[in-house]
Amino acid sequence: MEFSSWLVVLAMALLASLLLLFSKKSDFQYHKRKSPPGPTPWPIIGNLDLIGPLPHQSLHKLSQKYGPIMQLKFGSFPVVVASSAEVAKQFLKTHDHVFASRPQTAAGKHTTYNYLNITWAPYGPYWRQGRKIYLSELFSSKRLESYEYIRVEERRVFMSRLCSMSGKPIMLKDHLSRLTLSIISRIVLGKKYFSESKDETSIVTLEEFQEILDELFLLNGVLNIGDWIPWIDFLDLQGYVKRMKALRKKLDRFHDHVFDEHKARREGEKDFVPKDMVDLLLQMADDPNLDVKLTYESVKGFTQDLIAGGTDTSATTVEWAMSELLKQPHLIKKATEELDRVIRRDRWVEERDIPQLPYINAIMKETMRKHPVAVLLAPHLALEDCNIAGYEIRKGTRIFINTWSVGRNPSIWYAPEEFCPERFLGKDIDVKGQNFELLPFGSGRRMCPGYSLGLKMISSSLANLLHGFDWKLPDNMKVEDLGMDEVYGLATPRKFPLIAVVEPRLPLNLY
């Protein structure tokens, strides 16, 4: 070939390479432009190096750089984080059906009977039927009202116990957890099933039961490396899976004991009437007409959801509320002025009184804004490709809604770091999933089904703690010493439990 011909071939090859390069680059830019902005991931770990021990705070900081919708990679999986009310609404309302599933995790597999509870169940007929049972059978307003006497009895025991410890420093969370655990156990299991004193015998002691639940909460909230980098899952580098398997054995033993007692009662009574939620669920497990059969393990999964979902969440919220109030005692004064005016000092606050207490309601909302229990909600999963706010979200992406961050957005909330219940007075903002700036229970198909019970327990215990006692910090502690540090998990409680001193403020015969 002549030299000039070589030149032509070379020029054509160069042109072709340039065209190829250009088309690749524009293809790359197209995808880059279409995915939400975010930091560049490393091989294998993705962006896990950017996530500290408080993931919601790490993500909050990143969102200030990348915006209210950003994409990261956790190990092998894309993760999209929503940090504004508008973006949260897109995921949980506009495109709710696309994001209504959950990713599969080791916790769901090992601690909730292979996703047979509601929290971790994938979107589909099993989950849909379970939700229907929750909403129409277990949490109907009639059913919840029928259990009011349990909440009242346990509240009385709680108030008397605190009164007997007046003048001494108490760790409030211990008492709140005992209250919520007692209420939930009686509603769900029919009785407490744990022994409260040394001479009682039961399948577990209160401490053991609390430890089981703490472990369940912890393991369901941890960032288990094997969930994100599946090919090293078998190594169980953090030892979490081993702990999950050990926990499952304890849970099984507990459930089997509870169910055996329930079945014996059912078989022994001629005109058996279901008394508690386990009775109802076991009855449904025998129902051949259900669309999807409920197995014995389903009942275990559901029971666990009910116990775990209802206890630590409410206790944590009330502990945050009292911590914020003790930092600003003039807010306690305002709350007790309202209680003295509306309730007066000769009785306790009942659930029917709550709508007449706007300041108490405002304190609850302000607590849930600044300290939402589920700071990132529970993870959602994209079931198909979807366009959100002009960005392409790929099928299989995990979605986190950072409610902690939304609650601190200065474009929505004036002085967001301040605890100021007044911001809610006269405002039509509630916590039931319609106002996307305040989503403590989530919203849409996956919204918390137990929110009305949760609200009843929080409002009644908070109102009565304020009505029944004068509060102060222990003598050796100043208001400035009361930190607001958090620990991350499925619920995000205080790092250092609140210790306070109470004195009764109602006539002593009421306690």
Q: Which residues of 206-224 are buried (b: 16+ CB within 10 A; e: fewer)?
A: beebbebbebbbbbbbbbb
Q: Which stretch binds ligand HEM (CB under 6 A): 56-64, 345-353, 434-442, 471-479?
A: 434-442
Nearest to 248 by CA among 107, 453, 395: 107
Alpha helices in 81-199 (DSSP H): 85-89, 106-111, 125-132, 141-146, 148-164, 172-189
Nearer to ligand HEM, 236 or 297 (CB): 297
Neighbours of 85 (CB within 10 A): 19
Nearer to ligand HEM, 103 or 449 (CB): 449
Alpha helices in 2-140 (DSSP H): 3-34, 55-66, 85-89, 106-111, 125-132
Q: Would you count residue 313 as binding ligand HEM (CB under 6 A)?
A: yes
Pairing of strands 77-82, 69-74: antiparallel
Instruction: Compute the least distance from the CB of residue 105 to ligand HEM, in Å.
Output: 13
Q: Would you count residue 405 as binding ligand HEM (CB under 6 A)?
A: no
Q: Is 386 annotated as a binding residue?
A: no
Q: Which of 193, 359, 441, 488 touches ligand HEM (CB under 6 A)?
A: 441
Instruction: Compute the least distance from the CB of residue 139 to ligand HEM, in Å.
Output: 8
Instruction: Compute the least distance from the CB of residue 38 to ligand HEM, in Å.
Output: 22
**Residue 206: CA count within 13 A, CB half-sphere:** 15
Is residue 293 within 8 A of residue 303, CB to CB? The reply is no
Is residue 215 within 8 A of residue 243, CB to CB? The reply is yes
H or E stretch at 502:
strand 499-504
Q: Which stretch binds ligand HEM (CB under 6 A): 48-56, 289-297, 332-340, 451-459?
A: 451-459
Q: Would you count residue 378 as binding ligand HEM (CB under 6 A)?
A: yes
Nearer to ligand HEM, 364 or 420 (CB): 364
Q: Which two tokens stand for residue 8?
A: 């032509």
Rg of the chain over all Cα atoms, to the nearest angstrom: 26
For ligand HEM, the binding residues in 43-62 under the rule CB under 6 A are none
**Helices (runs of H) and strands (runs of E) counted in the chain:** 17, 11
Nearer to ligand HEM, 63 or 180 (CB): 180
Instruction: Compute the least distance from the CB of residue 125 to ligand HEM, in Å.
Output: 14
Q: Which of 229, 458, 463, 501 touches ligand HEM (CB under 6 A)?
A: 458
Q: Which stretch binds ligand HEM (CB under 6 A): 305-313, 327-335, 340-348, 459-467?
A: 305-313
Nearer to ligand HEM, 466 or 506 (CB): 466
Q: Which stretch binds ligand HEM (CB under 6 A): 163-171, 248-256, 306-314, 496-504?
A: 306-314
Q: Which of 454, 468, 489, 493 touches ligand HEM (CB under 6 A)?
A: 454
Query: Checking phi first, is residue 98 left (phi over 0); if not, alpha (psi -120 to 50) or beta?
Result: alpha
Q: Would you count residue 219 as binding ligand HEM (CB under 6 A)?
A: no
For ligand HEM, the binding residues in 91-150 under the rule CB under 6 A are 118-119, 131
* Closest residue to ligand HEM using C-beta atoms: 450
The binding site for heme consists of 448
